[in-house]
Amino acid sequence: IGLVVERRGVPRAQQKVLFETGEEGEVTSGGFSPTLGVPIALARVPITAGECCEVESRGQRLPARVVRPPFVRNGKACIPTASRAQPTPVGPSS
């Protein structure tokens, strides 16, 4: 899945992804997106995970939203950021 971090801090590989349900996942890669202007990451999480989570980074918990990749295509944002609309739902499309 994709993650968009909602405050300052960049997620890195092997950091934990925590959900309110108690389920956990793991960041596989992360970095700052200059096109989106926010930190983003890819992560492995349980299929039942929700849309909101936190990434454990350097002793802090960074709030993040679950989104469907790709983040950017042909130089244009494919996902909403804090200044845009709601997150793209994850799961099978209808």
**CATH 1.10.1370.40, domain 2-73, yes or no:** no
* Residues 5-17 pLDDT 10s: 999 999 999 999 9
Q: Using alpha carbons, select from 70, 72, 67, 26 the residue that is nearest to residue 46.
A: 26
Dist. CA 39–CA 3, nearest whole Å:
8
The confidence score (pLDDT) of residue 79 equals 83
Please give the average per-residue pLDDT across 75-89, as a whole number. 64
In this prediction the pTM is: 0.78
Q: Is the peptide bond before 34 cis (omega within 30 degrees of 0)?
A: no
Ranges of each domain in the chain: 2-73
pLDDT for position 92: 53
